[in-house]
């Protein structure tokens, strides 16, 4: 069939099909996406065994939020776990907190292959890479999630309808309340700060922090340009080491202590001194508790003392130490002028007869005060002045 005949046939078909509202469109070029869709459609799914199922759900309230996790093991045993989020949190952040907690608990239980299910379209879409995380906090949550994913052999994220996630939703709602009717047939804990707070503010070796030169020397072998400062860093670095990109202080009779900067140190002081397990101890006890918890910074002694002084509860309700620092001794004076207290003031601006010292004497019995201006201070002069004044008072 030549081209004129083909064109005529096309016109005939166009007329015949016009009554059915059918339009002809020429076929476009096949793009690369069509090939990708074909590969995805006909790829045999990976056969993964020993899969744990983790259902998560999070919700936001006026006082914080809650996270609910329901884990189904290989033996079909069901574990429910709730977390009360005691900090301001949005709904999406609560969903991320639930997802992170689910991954942590599953890893602690020994799970290597996990299918995580959630009813949050945004969170699942961001973790899959279907949605882009534009907000800074969402980016930090996504970064932390990817770090946890790397510790598993296989992780799959599935979005499910809300009605299929009822158990996790019940756990989250129960964890978010402070009422006495809270159920305790599953494990519940409290979380006082976001999981991303470490990524957000707690830097192990900031540019201006005290750990920066030590970390740089141990990691890269570089010392500060100043000679004196370089000597200090070189000597101090012998007491520190790096483990998993964290700076630790080591000692002969203690565990490795993680080095922290000022902001995290302030948070540790608040938690250990007056947090959920805090007992408002004194400065020395506070430092010992912090070191037993595994933290260190150079000024922790002074920082602990200053922090205890500014604690409102300690100042209001702390026991006031009324015992004197030294044993008190009484001074007995049986009669007038038997015992005197003498002190010398000066030198003062010279006056008449070049007097520039002031001799002050107080009788311990009567509290009588005598003063005398002197030009010079000698033992004989002080004795004569005292005797003259005593004779004058006795003669009155």
Amino acid 97: pLDDT: 92
Reported as a single tens digit per residue, the pLDDT across 8-18 is 777 777 777 67
Residues 153 and 225 in one domain: no
Alpha carbons 283 and 280: distance in angstroms, whole number: 9
Q: In this predicted model, which residue has the larger pLDDT, 277 or 257?
A: 257
Reported as a single tens digit per residue, the pLDDT across 237-271 is 888 988 877 889 987 777 889 999 888 888 899 88
Inform me whether the pLDDT recorded for 362 exceeds 90: no
Inform me whether the pLDDT recorded for 378 exceeds 60: yes
Inform me whether the pLDDT recorded for 203 exceeds 60: no
Amino acid 341: pLDDT: 82
Q: What is the mean pLDDT of residues 141-154?
A: 87
Inform me whether the pLDDT recorded for 291 exceeds 50: yes
Q: What is the mean pLDDT of residues 11-40?
A: 66
> Of the residues 145, 164, 198, which one is the last residue of a structural domain?
198
Other CB atoms within 10 Å distance of the CB of residue 204:
19
Residue 184 lies in a domain: yes
Amino acid 205: pLDDT: 47
Residue 259 lies in a domain: yes
Amino acid 183: pLDDT: 54
User: Is the backbone peptide bond immediately before 230 cis, with ω within 30 degrees of 0?
Assistant: no
Residues 66 and 100 in one domain: yes
Domain with residue 114: its CATH number is 3.30.420.10
Residues 125 and 83 in one domain: yes
Residues 71 and 181 in one domain: yes
Instruction: Please name every residue paired with 296 in a beta bridge, in sequence order, or none if there are none.
Output: 259
Q: What is the mean pLDDT of residues 13-35?
A: 66
Inform me whether the pLDDT recorded for 395 exceeds 80: no
> Of the residues 198, 226, 260, which one is the last residue of a structural domain?
198
CA distance from start to end of the chain: 154
Amino acid 22: pLDDT: 65
Residue 38 lies in a domain: no
Residues 62 and 189 in one domain: yes
- Ramachandran quadrant class, 260 (left: phi over 0; alpha: psi -120 to 50; beta: rest): beta
Residue 21 lies in a domain: no
Of 186-190, 296-300, 310-314, the poorest mean pLDDT is in 186-190
Confidence (pTM): 0.43
Q: What is the mean pLDDT of residues 351-373?
A: 83
Residue 303 lies in a domain: yes
> pLDDT-derived band of residue 49, with 50, 70 and 90 as boundaries?
low
The mean predicted confidence, pLDDT, of the chain is 80
Amino acid 302: pLDDT: 92
Domains in the chain, number: 3
What b/e sequence results for 33-65 when a residue is b if at least 16 CB atoms lie within 10 Å of its CB, and e otherwise?
A: eeeeeeeeeeeeeeeeeeebbbbbbbbbbeebb
- How much of the chain exceeds pLDDT 70, in percent? 79
Residues 181 and 55 in one domain: yes
Q: What is the mean pLDDT of residues 93-102?
A: 91
Amino acid 223: pLDDT: 84
Q: What is the mean pLDDT of residues 198-202?
A: 46
Q: In this predicted model, which residue has the larger pLDDT, 206 or 381?
A: 381
Residue 27 lies in a domain: no
Amino acid 89: pLDDT: 86
Number of alpha helices (DSSP H) and beta strands (DSSP E) in the chain: 14, 13
Domain that holds residue 138: 51-198
Amino acid 95: pLDDT: 92
> pLDDT-derived band of residue 338, with 50, 70 and 90 as boundaries?
confident
> Of the residues 142, 168, 198, which one is the last residue of a structural domain?
198
Residues 193 and 215 in one domain: no
Amino acid 182: pLDDT: 55
Q: What is the mean pLDDT of residues 121-145?
A: 88
């Amino acid at each position: 069939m030549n081209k004129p005949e083909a064109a005529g046939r096309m016109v005939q078909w166009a007329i015949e099909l016009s009554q059915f509202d059918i339009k002809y469109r020429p076929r476009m070029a096949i793009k690369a996406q069509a090939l990708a869709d074909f590969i995805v459609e006909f790829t045999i799914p990976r056969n993964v065994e020993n899969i744990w199922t983790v259902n998560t759900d999070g919700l936001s309230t006026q006082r914080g939020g809650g996270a609910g996790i329901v884990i189904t093991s290989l033996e079909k045993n069901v574990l429910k776990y709730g977390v009360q989020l005691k900090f301001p949190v949005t709904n999406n952040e609560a969903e991320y907190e639930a997802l992170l907690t689910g991954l942590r608990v599953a890893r602690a239980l020994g799970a290597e292959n996990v299918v995580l299910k959630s009813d949050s379209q945004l969170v699942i879409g961001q973790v899959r890479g279907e949605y882009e995380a534009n907000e800074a906090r969402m980016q930090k949550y996504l970064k932390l999630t990817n770090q946890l994913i790397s510790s598993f052999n296989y992780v799959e994220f599935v979005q499910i309808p809300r009605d299929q996630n009822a158990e996790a939703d019940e756990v989250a709602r129960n964890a978010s309340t402070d009422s006495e009717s809270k159920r305790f047939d599953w494990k519940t804990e409290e979380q006082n700060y976001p999981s991303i707070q470490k990524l957000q503010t707690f830097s192990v070796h900031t540019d201006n922090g005290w750990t920066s030169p030590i970390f740089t020397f141990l990691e890269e072998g570089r010392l500060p340009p100043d000679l004196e400062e370089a000597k200090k860093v070189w000597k101090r670095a012998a007491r520190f080491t790096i483990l998993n990109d964290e700076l630790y202080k080591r000692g002969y009779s203690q565990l490795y202590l993680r080095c922290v900067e000022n902001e995290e140190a302030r948070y540790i002081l608040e938690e250990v001194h007056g947090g959920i397990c805090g007992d408002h101890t004194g400065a020395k006890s506070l430092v010992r508790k912090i070191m037993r918890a595994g933290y260190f910074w150079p000024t922790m002694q002074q920082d602990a003392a200053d922090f205890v002084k500014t604690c409102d509860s300690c100042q209001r309700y702390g026991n006031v130490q009324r015992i004197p620092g030294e044993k008190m001794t009484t001074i007995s004076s049986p009669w007038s002028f038997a015992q005197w207290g003498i002190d010398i003031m000066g030198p003062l601006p010279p006056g008449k007869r070049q007097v520039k010292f002031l001799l002050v004497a107080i009788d311990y019995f009567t509290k009588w005060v005598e003063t005398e201006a002197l030009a010079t201070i000698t033992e004989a002069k002080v004795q004569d002045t005292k005797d003259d004044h005593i004779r004058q008072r006795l003669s009155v």
